[in-house]
């Protein structure tokens, strides 16, 4: 009987999630399964990791401009000669430096990339994944087996792991694209707080094994490690596991 009551409440929570929170109402926080949208002119504002509330269009709730953080050097092109006003920054707009309801930071926890955070490179664009500074950390979650990254306009990017071309390939690059990855491209899941990726007919020694392989430009591309965690590490790479972190702000 108790179990039946829980199911009914869970179903009610799921349908509420489609609706809009009232003015001054809760719109997020850990464990919150209710609405996450606010009425027009109201902004879902994080109070702390357990509580976000719809507030009237307050200035403090506007999304900080991405230009407040310097773009990674790899996103800066060389201005063509004779052009004094070339635009060299090609970063997209991010969701800000405060965690949005239902999203998480993802970071590595082993040296030499301890507390480097998952992000796109260039930032907030459909591009390759890297580990980078907490100041430019992306916001993510796993939804229906997809790794989703939140952008500043509320749209999503989807994680996609490259196809293994032959059985000698032991690392697969993670990138982000604008459309959901096909089911044949594998499945993301949380194991505790660790991000895992699995795919039919590739058996991995450790589904939480990732590789960080600096590319020589200062960027640290991230790969799925199809081999064992912690030994037989490919040259130029470091073994990492990556974990969600749900404090309101990312930190080093």
Ligand X SMILES: *[C@@H]1O[C@H](CO)[C@@H](O)[C@H](O)[C@H]1NC(C)=O
**Chain positions contacting ligand X, by CB under 6 A:** 184, 200-201, 206, 208, 229-230, 241
| Min separation Cβ 201 and ligand X, Å | 4
Backbone angles phi, psi at 60, to 5 degrees: -65, -15
Handedness of CA 183, 189, 195, 198 (dihedral sign): negative
The least distance separating ligand X from the CB of residue 210, rounded to whole angstroms, comes to 10
Q: 27 or 194: whose CB is closer to ligand X?
A: 194
Which residue's CB is nearer to ligand X, number 100 or number 204?
204
Cβ neighbours of 248 (radius 10 Å): 15
- In angstroms, give the least distance from the CB of 244 to ligand X: 15
Residue 146 Cβ vs ligand X, minimum distance, rounded to whole Å: 17
Cα 32 to Cα 29, 156, 172, 220, 227, distances in angstroms: 5, 21, 35, 34, 37
User: Nearer Cβ to ligand X, position 41 or 167?
Assistant: 167
Q: From edge to edge, which strands make up the β-sheet containing 42-48?
A: 26-28, 51-56, 42-48
CA angle (37, 179, 154) in 5-degree steps? 25
- When the beta carbons of 81 and 184 are compared against ligand X, the nearer one is 184
């Amino acid at each position: 009987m108790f179990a039946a009551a829980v199911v009914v409440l869970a179903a009610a929570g799921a349908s509420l999630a489609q609706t809009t929170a009232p003015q001054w109402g809760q719109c997020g926080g850990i464990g919150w399964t209710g609405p996450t949208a606010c009425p027009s002119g109201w902004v879902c504002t994080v109070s702390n990791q357990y509580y976000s509330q719809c507030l009237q269009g307050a200035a403090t709730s506007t999304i900080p401009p991405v230009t407040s953080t310097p773009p990674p050097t790899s996103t800066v092109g060389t201005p063509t000669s004779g052009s004094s006003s070339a635009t060299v920054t090609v970063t997209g707009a991010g969701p800000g430096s405060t965690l949005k309801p239902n999203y998480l930071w993802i970071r590595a926890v082993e040296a030499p990339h301890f507390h480097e955070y998952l992000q796109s490179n260039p930032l907030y664009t459909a591009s390759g994944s890297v580990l980078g500074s907490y100041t430019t950390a992306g916001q993510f979650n796993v939804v229906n087996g997809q790794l989703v990254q939140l952008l500043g306009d509320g749209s999503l990017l989807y994680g996609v792991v490259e196809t293994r071309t032959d059985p000698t390939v032991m690392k697969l690059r993670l990138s982000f694209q604008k459309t959901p990855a096909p089911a044949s491209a594998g499945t993301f899941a949380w194991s505790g707080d660790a991000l895992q990726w699995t795919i039919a007919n590739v058996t991995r020694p450790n589904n939480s094994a990732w590789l960080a392989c600096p590319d020589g430009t200062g960027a640290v591309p991230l790969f799925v490690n199809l081999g064992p965690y912690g030994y037989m590490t490919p040259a130029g790479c470091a073994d990492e596991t990556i974990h969600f972190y749900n404090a309101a702000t990312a930190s080093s």
